[in-house]
Amino acid sequence: MGSSLLRVLGFVFLLLGYCSSSTSPLQDQERDKITELPGQPTNVGFAQYSGYVTVDQQAGRALFYWLTEAPASRRPESRPLVLWLNGGPGCSSVAYGAAEEIGPFRIHPDGKTLFFNPYAWNNLANILFLESPAGVGFSYSNTSSDLYTAGDQRTAEDAYTFIVNWFERFPQYKHRDFYIAGESYAGHYVPQLSQLVYQRNKGLQNPSINFKGFLVGNAVTDDYHDYVGTFEYWWIHGLISDATYRTLRVACDFGSSQHPSVACIKAFDVADKEQGSIDPYSIFTRPCSSAISLRRNLRGHYPWMPRAYDPCTERYSIIYFNRPEVQKALHANLTAISYPWKTCSDIVGDYWADSPLSMLPIYEELIAAGLRIWVFSGDTDAVVPLTATRYSIDALKLPTVMNWYPWYDHGKVGGWSQVYKGLTFVTVRGAGHEVIVVFLKIPTLPFENALVWERRFCLSTLFTGINSRVRERAQNWLSPALAPAFAYQTLNACPS
């Protein structure tokens, strides 16, 4: 009898201890809330949160996130949630996505103060930046071998676990329209994670993750077509010789981008020397004169290894995010690691494991499922160039809904677009690898415009299809004139 009572009391004490140590989602959010970033401008009118979400308790893997909500004046509770991923593999979404591209702040050259980015995506949506996989940026693992065994599959699984656990911490985002976006090697991350979300949502009546679709820019998509398109771009733009062009096509034919043959690596070495000291991420942009040689920042010989579009901006990020007071404000580096924060992890990138040759089968699956897919490409990028993306899209053999047409920004051609059944492709004139640096200056996000079209037109009986009248009407209140693309995709997604 006494032993039974002791067991019961032990269970009660264990339960009480568990209850006292657990916290509510509201408490977790309050713990992660950023009160103020060092050097930030005054009158910040939006909420920010950052911190860690554990994705593998046994291994001690935790991923770092930074959420920037839409301004209070824009009713963030009514805005969609967008997860942003940078590629590499091994590069930080805080360094690039948040600090250089679509985040609310830019870093001054002093590396100490911030200024507003007037074209930040959080003007239109709630943006969630994720540093992935473990070992990248502030994300970490207590199992050191994890850094040497990262690959596509585990990255997708960990990112999915992150989303599930993050929604438990931020339950107000459950059932909210949710999109996944990214660039470069996130051309793998984004479709793979999208596929996981889609497949695990199957059979659920009202899934917490209300996944609507994904966006990718200058994305690594299919190794064969990426190689063919990249070599062709180099040759057409006079970056390599005829002989090197022929050698690349033979030596790298059907090869893996992450694990190329010895002959392919040698051909890349020759191409690298022939191209000289240019910025391959934006071939008409003068490199930052104060930066270290661009080629020293390109890992290996793969044509899409990461480096920031502006190496000077990258330097500002390194200074800012290594400041102890900044890390404290971000609730980052809680384990006080001895080595500095880096924009990209050489270990993770150099030891990358699995990397499927093609994402096209995933595209086919998700297009058939009716998800919104948006692909955009800057036409001055020689890393994952426009030609590579066009070859990959062409391989899908999708029916064309709206043929190639120019879109305009303030009366000038901003690029071109083609609408396929299930996919919209957009080019941005004069933009490089980090196309979003240019593209974000144009107030046209797919999720925003889809919502606008749905609100203004889906429930209207003014028209039933796409025609010149729709385009004309759209141009009166949208800039640039990408409206037909959005009209098609939204009309087909409209509730009956």
Catalytic sites, residue numbers? 184, 381, 433
What single DSSP character describes residue 80? -
Among 414, 346, 360, 362, residue whose Cα is nearest residue 388: 360
46 is written with which tokens? Answer: 């939006």
CA distance 236 to 305: 21
Q: Which phi and psi angles does 221 have, rounded to 5°? A: -125, -50
Cis peptide leading into residue 171 (ω within 30°): no
> How many residues would you count in the chain?
496
User: What residues contact 205, with CB distance under 8 A and at least 6 apart?
Assistant: none
- Helices 152-169, 186-201: crossing angle, 10 deg rounding: 60
Helix or strand run (H / E) with residue 181: strand 177-183
Alpha-carbon dihedral of residues 381, 385, 389, 391, nearest 10 degrees?
160
